[in-house]
Homo-oligomer: A and B are copies of this chain.
Amino acid sequence: MENTVIYGRNAVIEALESGSREFNKILVSQKSGADVKIEKIKELAKEQGIIFQFVAMQKLNQLVPDGRHQGVIALISPVKYTDLDDFIEKIGGNIVILDGNEDSHKVGAIIRTAVCAGIKGIILPSRRGVLINSTVEKTSAGAVNHISIIKVNSLTNAVQKLKENNYWVIASDHHAKDNYYDIDYSNMNFALIMGAEHAGISRSLLKLADFTVKIPMLTNFNSLNVSNAAAIILFESVRGRERKK
């Protein structure tokens, strides 16, 4: 199973009240009627800024097959998320932002390479795309424990906050005019946005970018795997810094 789960109304309430677990999302059956406990879960989730999604019963049954979920399943992260403000204030360093990547293997691979390239934070949106689950943890080869993972409800707000804090925002987009090696990465704090493989980066984020870069291809087969594209750009930033030594 990709996700560690907590299920059943009482178990989810307990976990929310204990504050000891790191939630990705709470999934609730669309068929849940007016129910005191479901209302309580909703309220606690809202207080703690946890995404609460109504889903089909089928989806819940896929996650917990024998129906013991009582219409509520919480997806739990294997790692602790870092708050963006805390990251900026106390940690700092270059960041990769993943906009809507749904593939756990590729997210894991990107995090692994990001750590090797000296990146200090990964920003993931809490609604679109995968969060940290056991597949991401495994394919990252444990790298999720060597970097700050920042979960945000709005990527747009996060990017704006980064810009206010002197980050340069770089978007990888195959329509860009500049090549990824035309930038000098060595004299700035940067946040690199990688989009989903087919959809690319959402328009609202693209507009906020200070630089938009592409990876030039030697063939018409214009289709890099997003984790390889991230690796190419991130190691260009390493290369620049290493050469300046």
Contact = CB atoms under 8 A, between A and B. Distances in A.
A116 B179 contact: no
B218 A117 contact: yes
Given A105-B105, A228-B228, A217 B179 contact: no
Interface residues of A, number: 37
Nearest to A106: B109
Interface stretch (A24-32, A66-74, A150-158, A219-227): A219-227
Given A105-B105, A215-B235, A116 B227 contact: no
A8 interface: no
A218 B116 contact: yes
Contacts of A181: 239, 243
A113 B242 contact: no
A88 interface: no
A143 B223 CA distance: 9
Interface string A152-182: 0000000000000000000000000001010
B227 A227 contact: yes
A118 interface: yes
A44 interface: no
Given A105-B105, A232-B235, A239-B181, A219 B115 contact: yes
A112 interface: yes
A109 B225 contact: yes
A154 to B, nearest CB: 29
Interface in A33-90: none
Given A181-B239, A242-B179, A118 B228 contact: no
4 pairs of A and B residues whose beta carbons are closest in the complex? A118-B218, A228-B231, A232-B235, A113-B228
21 contacts: A112-B223, A112-B224, A112-B225, A113-B224, A115-B219, A116-B217, A116-B219, A116-B222, A116-B224, A118-B217, A118-B219, A141-B225, A143-B221, A146-B219, A179-B242, A216-B238, A224-B231, A228-B228, A228-B230, A232-B235, A236-B239
